[in-house]
Amino acid sequence: MTRWIISLISLVLLSNVVSAADDPAQMRELVVVHTNDFHGHIKEEKEYAGAARISAYVNHQRKRYPGVLFLDAGDAISGTPVSTMYKGLPVFHVMNAMNYDAGVLGNHEFDHGYKHISKFREISNHLLLSANVFDPEGNLIGDREHQVFEINGITIGIIGLTTDKTPAMVTPVGNDGLNFHRPEDVLRKQVEILRPIVDLIIVLSHVGHERDKAMADSIPGIDIIVGGHSHTLVKTPVKVGTTYIAQAHRYGTHVGILHFFVNTKTKTVSHFTGKLVEAANLPEADPDVLKVVNFWEEKVEGLVDMEITTSDREISGHLLQSMMETIMAEVSGADFGYYNIGGVRDKIPRGSVTARHIWNIEPFGNTLVTLEITGADYLTLLSRENESHSSIGSIDPDKTYKIATNSFIGAHAVKAFDNKIKLNDLGILIRDIMIDHIKENGI
């Protein structure tokens, strides 16, 4: 009876929202719930909702509406101790409990080498799409280029895209020989394939919000882009031409919801609304998902949930970058340190500071390395990373420096300059020297 009443209300609402040109008999309702850049934040903490509360919200939508899709736009792993210690595998076990319908491979899914992605695919109950990434033998890295769903009378084509900047963003170790095709070129071909056979095209895009807008402007036939990668807070979807573009920030601070009708005769979207829901406004945790989260978190909490100091202020990523560079230089006896700002993944809060906070700041398991490199090559390396050097004075292009950095930057430096530089890996985890320094000296 309740289901019948909901259907009747939907028909009444539909009669009030369709235009005169729309045939109500051809109109179908769809709700899309979306996340992106979750980065292993399965546990509820601070402003992060956690997997169980997000799942509860999705369950509510599935009870309320006849057609619901739950999608993720990539970078599900790398960012928390539970993800790092178990190489991302727990995240996909949790996502299974959340009942995602589809996801896309983000650049961080390559953090443990592309062959490890096969383990994610084995675990995951939902497809991990990517139309533009191929292994050295020319095979797709993801499950498929696209997937077609039939939901509430709507035929939906979902295309996955991964940023072609990935090789510069992940370690070269275990990722040699991959071929990242230009997303725009691949997307155009995928739309040409799907448009004649589906009512709706959704792109799961892990290329960034500005590039999403450019793709929507240049490639016709896309209805919706659910984006990720740039961690953009898109409070209400942006419309470019006839394409709606959404993104839900990062780490589960928000969940996106899109609600609209599809005319299955004209294959057009009408009465489109979209918004982000803040973590604080999500329902209480789904107990079944919470059990899975707790199972994995209990495996690591004894190692990371101990206080190492207290802080009288919040310390931002840029201040942490400078702090980390100083500590690395002191420990290694280098002339100065360099730590890429993109590798600083969180901040230090005011109040109690635990080892978990440091793990979240440096979740990648990088080791401390030194590089013997000329000033000219160092400045070239910085330009490749799109960064400037910190306040260490001027760099003499002709002088050879000993620089302390992380193994990620070290691997890229070796790849770029080969035997022109000398790398020495000290075998000490960056986060360990951070924890030891803070324990001894405070913040």
Encode pLDDT of 334-351 as tens digits.
999 999 998 999 999 999
Q: What is the pLDDT of residue 202?
A: 98
Q: Any idea which of 15-29, 89-103, 338-352 has the lowest mean pLDDT?
A: 15-29
Beta bridge mates, 147: 158
Residue of 220, 330, 336, 199 whose CA lies nearest to 266: 199
Q: What is the pLDDT of residue 5?
A: 47
Q: How many CA atoms lie within 13 A of 138 on its CB side?
A: 0
E-strand ranges in 323-440 read: 336-337, 351-354, 367-374, 400-406, 422-429
CB atoms inside a 10 Å sphere around CB 410: 23
CB atoms inside a 10 Å sphere around CB 303: 12
Average pLDDT in the chain: 92
CB atoms inside a 10 Å sphere around CB 268: 15
- Position 73 pLDDT exceeds 50: yes
Q: Which pLDDT band, with edges at 50, 70 and 90, does 12 fall under?
A: very low
Contact assessment for residue 369 and residue 423, using Cβ atoms and an 8 Å cutoff? yes
Q: What is the pLDDT of residue 50?
A: 98
- Position 11 pLDDT exceeds 50: no
Q: What is the pLDDT of residue 4?
A: 44
Q: CA 269 → CA 51, 191, 200, 264, distances in Å?
A: 30, 16, 8, 9
> Over the stretch 240-286, which tens digit does the pLDDT of each residue have?
999 999 999 999 999 999 999 999 999 999 999 999 999 999 999 99
Q: What is the pLDDT of residue 394?
A: 86
pTM of this prediction?
0.85
Residues 6+ apart with CB under 8 A from 25: none
Contact assessment for residue 272 and residue 258, using Cβ atoms and an 8 Å cutoff? yes
- Position 187 pLDDT exceeds 60: yes
Residue type, position 45, single letter: E
Residue of 351, 341, 423, 422 whose CA lies nearest to 387: 341
Q: Residues 379-385: what's their mean pLDDT?
A: 82
Residues 6+ apart with CB under 8 A from 428: 331, 367, 368
Instruction: Indicate if the alpha-carbon torsion angle 309, 315, 318, 319 is positive or negative.
Output: negative
Q: Any idea which of 257-261, 297-301, 377-381, 403-407 has the lowest mean pLDDT?
A: 377-381
Q: Which pLDDT band, with edges at 50, 70 and 90, does 3 fall under?
A: very low
Give the CA dihedral 63, 67, 70, 71, nearest 10 degrees: -170
As a whole number of angstroms, the distance between CA 159 and CA 88 comes to 23
Residue 164, φ and ψ in degrees, nearest 5:
-80, 0
Q: What is the pLDDT of residue 106?
A: 98
As a whole number of angstroms, the distance between CA 162 and CA 165 comes to 9
Q: Residues 179-189: what's their mean pLDDT?
A: 98
Residue of 147, 90, 140, 85 whose CA lies nearest to 119: 90
Q: Which pLDDT band, with edges at 50, 70 and 90, does 237 fall under?
A: very high
Q: Residues 406-423: what's their mean pLDDT?
A: 89
Angle between helix axes 430-441 and 317-332 (nearest 10 degrees) is: 90
As a whole number of angstroms, the distance between CA 292 and CA 301 comes to 14
> Which single residue is written with the structure tokens 């709700």?
31
- Position 63 pLDDT exceeds 90: yes
Burial group, residue 224, by CB count within 10 angstroms (0-12, 13-18, 19+): buried
Which of 274 and 12 is assigned the larger pLDDT? 274
Q: What is the pLDDT of residue 419?
A: 77
Which of 46 and 81 is assigned the larger pLDDT? 81
- Position 7 pLDDT exceeds 80: no
As a whole number of angstroms, the distance between CA 49 and CA 15 comes to 36
Contact assessment for residue 184 and residue 141, using Cβ atoms and an 8 Å cutoff? no
Q: What is the pLDDT of residue 8?
A: 45
Q: Which pLDDT band, with edges at 50, 70 and 90, does 9 fall under?
A: very low
Share of residues in the chain with pLDDT > 70 (%): 93
- 279-293 in b/e form (b: 16+ CB < 10 A) is beebeebbeebbebb
Find the angle CA(267)-CA(220)-CA(273) to the nearest 5 degrees: 55
- Ordered domains of the chain (ranges, CATH): 2-297 (3.60.21.10), 306-441 (3.90.780.10)
HEC sequence for 63-89: HHCCCEEEEECCCCCCCCHHHHHCCCH
